[in-house]
Amino acid sequence: MAPLEANAAACQFETLTVPSTMGPVTVQVQWANAGGDAALYLLDGLRASDLASGWSNTSAPCTFQNDDVTVVMPVGGHGSWYVDWAHPPAADGRPWHWEMFLTDELPTFLSRYGISRHRNAVVGVSMGASAALMLAAYHREQFLSATALSGYLDWHSPGGSSTVQSIIAVAGLDPQLLSPLDGLQWDRMDPYSFAPRLHGLPMHIYAAQGAPNTTESSEDPLATLGAMAIESLAYSSTLRFQQRLESLGIAADYVLPRTGTHSWSHWSDALVAARPFILHSLQGD
């Protein structure tokens, strides 16, 4: 494993335009330093921008710049949960086929650059956390590991699915366009429900209890309170998901600190801490 030397100023992301049934999708990449064929997919959160991946605004991806792995950051997917929607949610009428894009169209495109369709790891934050587990659960031939940071991982408890549907609505989208509210897609997306599919998959799962650090509590008290509350919700659901996995005899790495809010600064630190796990999983041993 290469020494950890992050230099955000020297870190370069190339912007690619990838053809898709959804229309052209922007993807930011940091190529493997020695031309290796492994890739790390980094998924965004609920407020994913159409301009750049939230990850590209942190220094965390740069910590992989000396590693022989290509960092892949899809741009967009605001509120999508990275699944295939039954109906187009936007006024332009374009379909949303995010799962198809991430597991078929994008790896096919990257294969032209020598990136393997089978030596990949996936990391997601918040909305992207449950999506990372879902993609790895249903596409084991593609993803060798999954890392979930501050995700809502138990939709099975009373009110769980309705909470996710409310979050989608808060993002300005109609959850019924994703799937009828009584449809099977909601169980298919729920980590608690698809947990049996995770047997043998290396997983790194992070959620904090929501306590802010000194800098956060003094910067913007109202924003900090919101980030504390959301992270506490993620933490509680993660504990229930942990119990679910343990009841099934499924192992995972857990990082459950007291300090940490629902924010990019903590996710950036969490990705850096997960780096050894991710690189080891890509070795396939």
CB of 142 closer than 8 Å to CB of 101: no
Instruction: Please compute Rg for the chain using Cα positions.
Output: 18
The Cβ-side half-sphere exposure at 245, using a 13 Å CA radius, reads 24
Most distant CA pair in the chain: distance in Å? 50
Given the residues 216, 231, 237, 263, select the one marked as catalytic. 231
Residue 227 and residue 158: Cα distance in Å, rounded?
A: 23
Residue 48 and residue 26: Cα distance in Å, rounded?
A: 12
Residue 77 and residue 48: Cα distance in Å, rounded?
A: 6
Reduced to 3 states (helix: H, G, I; strand: E, B; else coil), residue 260 is: coil
Residue 261 and residue 219: Cα distance in Å, rounded?
A: 13
- Note if 237 is an active site residue: no
CB of 138 closer than 8 Å to CB of 106: no
Structure tokens at 113: 């650059």
- Note if 126 is an active site residue: yes
Given the residues 80, 126, 150, 161, select the one marked as catalytic. 126
Query: How deeply is 159 buried, as exposed, middle or buried, from its count of CB atoms within 10 A (0-12, 13-18, 19+)?
Result: exposed
- Give the DSSP letter string of 176-241: HHHS-TTSTHHHHH-HHHHGGGGTT--EEEE----B--HHHHHH-HHHHHHHHHHHHHHHHHHHHH
- Note if 216 is an active site residue: no
Given the residues 145, 262, 266, 268, select the one marked as catalytic. 262
Q: Among all residues, which ones are annotated catalytic?
A: 126, 231, 262
